[in-house]
A and B are shown apart, each in its own frame.
Chain A
Amino acid sequence: MDKNMLDQLQISDRLLRFMFHCSLRMYNSLVQRCFSDCVDTFKHKSLQKQEETCVRRCAEKLLKHSMRVGMRFAELNQGAATQD
């Protein structure tokens, strides 16, 4: 039974590493999207007030959206298990 526990721990370990990799990807895509949606002009070197506000709202919206989609996705996954 020890070996089985080891296998399951190995699977969890791989999963955790994969999830870490995924959150890094999400971070990058968040930055890219908010940048392309909010920053249009390059008259100044530093971020303007309105650009900063825009980026904050964009990030919050994206995260909330992501959470909501995740919730619905999980529900559908569970649903698929019983629908059959």
Chain B
Amino acid sequence: MNRYPSTRFTQIPLLCSRTEMAKKKDWKQGNCSAVYNVSSSLFLFYIGAMAANVPPSAFDKEQILGMAEKEMEYRVELFNKMTQTCFNKCVDNRYKESELNMGENSCIDRCVSKYWQVTNLIGQLLGSGRPPM
């Protein structure tokens, strides 16, 4: 199994209010305050099992939750590192003013985009399963 997070995502409705969940609104339309992308295979397995009223075995559930948690930690770490790196590269340390100027804004956008591309590229390279040199 590929150890690296898959690039296919499904939105899982976390941080929905209880009323939103009870009304079973279409979560994909962003009615919840935040959604979190989990690799679709995990999501479909767990939700499918619940929908079919077949309780996933205790072991499976723990395993799935553990993996989802690991993936979430990975995403948060990715976000943190991205923030730090782009700040180092784009924002002047002297803090002449409290607003981000136009140049810094575009730099940040491009930095995030490139960082994301590098992440995907490395994921592909590592996931292709070549033996280490």
Instruction: Give the distance in Å from the alpha carbon of A5 to the alpha carbon of B20 in the complex.
Output: 12
State whether the Cβ of B72 lies closer than 8 Å to any Cβ in chain A: yes
**Which of B8, B65, B112 meets A84, CB within 8 Å?**
B8
B95 & A81 in contact (Cβ 8 Å cutoff): no
State whether the Cβ of B26 lies closer than 8 Å to any Cβ in chain A: no
Instruction: Give the distance in Å from the alpha carbon of A84 to the alpha carbon of B9 in the complex.
Output: 9
Interface SS, A side: helix
Q: How many residues of B contact A (CB 8 A)?
A: 42
A65 & B95 in contact (Cβ 8 Å cutoff): no
Instruction: Give the distance in Å from the alpha carbon of A60 to the alpha carbon of B100 in the complex.
Output: 9
Instruction: Give the distance in Å from the alpha carbon of A54 to the alpha carbon of B10 in the complex.
Output: 42
CB contacts (< 8 Å) of A11 on chain B: these are 14, 65
Q: Which of B65-114 contact A (CB under 8 A)?
A: 65, 69, 72, 76, 79-80, 82-84, 86-87, 90-91, 93, 95-100, 104-105, 108-109, 112-113
B7 & A80 in contact (Cβ 8 Å cutoff): yes
> Provided the pairs A15-B15, A22-B76 are in contact, do residues A73 and B99 lie with their beta carbons within 8 angstroms?
no
Q: Which of A39-84 contact B (CB under 8 A)?
A: 54, 56-58, 60-62, 64-66, 68-70, 72-73, 76-77, 80-81, 84
**Which of A7, A18, A77, A80 meets B72, CB within 8 Å?**
A18
State whether the Cβ of B127 lies closer than 8 Å to any Cβ in chain A: no
Q: Mark each residue of chain A from 1 to 36: 1 if its CB lies under 8 Å from any CB of chain B, else 0.
A: 001110111011011101000100100010000000
Seen from chain A, the residues whose Cβ lies within 8 Å of a Cβ on chain B are 3-5, 7-9, 11-12, 14-16, 18, 22, 25, 29, 37-38, 54, 56-58, 60-62, 64-66, 68-70, 72-73, 76-77, 80-81, 84
28 pairs, CB–CB < 8 Å, chain A vs chain B:
A7-B50, A9-B18, A12-B15, A18-B72, A18-B76, A22-B76, A29-B80, A29-B84, A57-B96, A57-B97, A58-B95, A60-B99, A61-B91, A61-B95, A61-B99, A64-B100, A65-B86, A65-B100, A65-B108, A68-B100, A68-B108, A69-B108, A70-B79, A72-B108, A73-B82, A76-B116, A77-B37, A81-B9
